[in-house]
Amino acid sequence: MPTYVMLLNPSANRVYRQATAALAAAELTVTAPFASEIAAGRIGAADALSFRADDIDELVLAAQSAHLVTFRQEGDLLRPVDVPDISVLDDDLLTIPKYQGKTNEGFTRLLLHLTLSQIDRPGPLEVLDPLAGRGTTLLAAWQAGHHGFGVEADEKAFEALASYLKTYLRTKRIRHTAQITPVRREGRTLGRRLDAEVRLSEATHDQPARPGMPTLRMSVFTGDTRDSAALYGRKKFDAIVTDAPYGVVHGAEQRDVNAGGASASARGRAGGSGRGGSQRNRSAQTLLTEAIPVWRGQLKAGGALGISWNTHTLSRGRLLEIISQAGLQAHDEGPWRQFAHRVDASINRDLLVAITP
């Protein structure tokens, strides 16, 4: 059986870089059934995975969140494998934004890939992040060729996403529309909505047409995540993918710091001061206990929920209970229990993926 070596894309964040090999090994185990004897190692100074396979699926390898290049080992030599680039937009869509509290792009891709791998239908899929922040998950969905939808209570984060998206698409000369409109119900203004569309198949004056490329949509509401179903009405989603804030915003004991950032205020919030008091008085457990049943109702049959969180403020066992009580079936065996990793002294991040029964 041939042996393959996959070099891993190094993260700019030192702490996440130290966890990348173990996370990539677990990701490959979950998503690549053709691979066996998966092991982390190094090629020179580069982190790598080795695995054995009779027949490989190049598209599966291309979807790995940390994939850089794959080789087939032939004696002492490594022969490159032709793995296609399946991204429909450039990497800088995710990497250009720099701000405190931003979730690591590599981890966002990992969580998105693991969640979408549990859905058995072709894309483009419709992905909702009900704690959208400045839209890292939505931008990752676009880059992977899927539609992105969100809910975000922080007006500044909402405005930052809208401004960045318009500037990026204009600078890249991509055919698009993007506009913000007020949301009104029964004569009252309840918030705002961002709607954007990119038409990747269309030519511009300096870019040729790209036949077969998708037209992708993005919509983001301002509002409370627990009102997500009311905001989107009857609309259902293939996947819900979210990185739950890690502490301060929802009143948990630890400060909210994502890998590569240190500000709670820059992350997506659950909502404003309505619905019975300030969100800062609500624990992460209370928030997710109230929100996950709402999110469950927004999933299509055969859909999946992927969530990451800080285990110092909410135990894995308690989150499993919340997910089960909402009528979802979580993966909690084998490699699915190998994604926990340290972010800093106050944050140990883990993830769960659950499916509709």
Q: Any idea what the CATH number is for the domain that residue 33 is in? A: 3.30.70
Clarify whether residues 18 and 121 are in a common domain.
no
Please report the pLDDT score of residue 205 as a whole number.
66
Which domain does 19 fall in, by range? 3-80
**277 and 327 share one domain:** yes
Question: 201 with 330, same domain?
Answer: yes
Q: Over 66-100, what HEC string results?
A: CEEEEEEEECCEEEECCCCCCCCCCCHHHHCCCCC
Count the domains in the chain: 2
Predicted pLDDT at 251: 36
> What is the C-alpha to C-alpha distance for residues 300 and 210, in angstroms, rounded to an integer?
31
Residue 86 lies in a domain: no
Structure token pair of residue 57: 């699926």
Asked if 211 and 313 sit in the same domain, the reply is yes
User: Residue 146 in contact with residue 124, Cβ under 8 Å?
Assistant: yes
Environment class of 121 (CB within 10 Å of its CB; exposed 0-12, middle 13-18, buried 19+): exposed
Cα–Cα distance between 308 and 327 in angstroms, integer?
A: 19
Q: Are 2 and 53 in contact (CB under 8 A)?
A: yes
Query: How far is residue 279's CA from residue 257's CA, in Å, rounded to a whole number?
Result: 17
Residues 72 and 149 in one domain: no
pLDDT of amino acid 281? 39
Is 329 a member of any domain? Answer: yes
Q: Report pTM.
A: 0.90
Last residue of a domain, one of 57, 80, 103: 80
**219 domain residue, yes or no:** yes
Please tell me the predicted confidence (pLDDT) of residue 282.
Answer: 57
Q: Is 73 in the same domain as 96?
A: no
pLDDT of residue 253: 37
Residue 170 shares a structural domain with residue 117 = yes
Burial of 219 (0-12, 13-18, 19+ CB in 10 A): buried
Nearest partner of 113 among 353, 291, 356, judged by Cα: 353
Q: Does residue 138 share a domain with residue 186? A: yes
Q: Give the gyration radius of the chain's Cα atoms.
A: 20
- The verdict on 106 and 186 lying in the same domain is yes
Q: Give the separation between CA 58 and CA 84, rounded to whole angstroms.
A: 7
Q: Decide if 85 is inside a domain.
A: no
Q: Give the integer Cα–Cα distance in Å for 77 and 72.
A: 8
Mean pLDDT by 10 residues, the chain (357 residues): 95 86 98 97 93 97 97 95 95 93 93 98 96 97 98 97 97 93 85 95 76 92 96 97 74 38 39 40 82 98 98 96 98 97 92 96
Strand 176-185 relative to strand 299-310: parallel, antiparallel, unpaired? unpaired
Residues 132 and 230 in one domain: yes
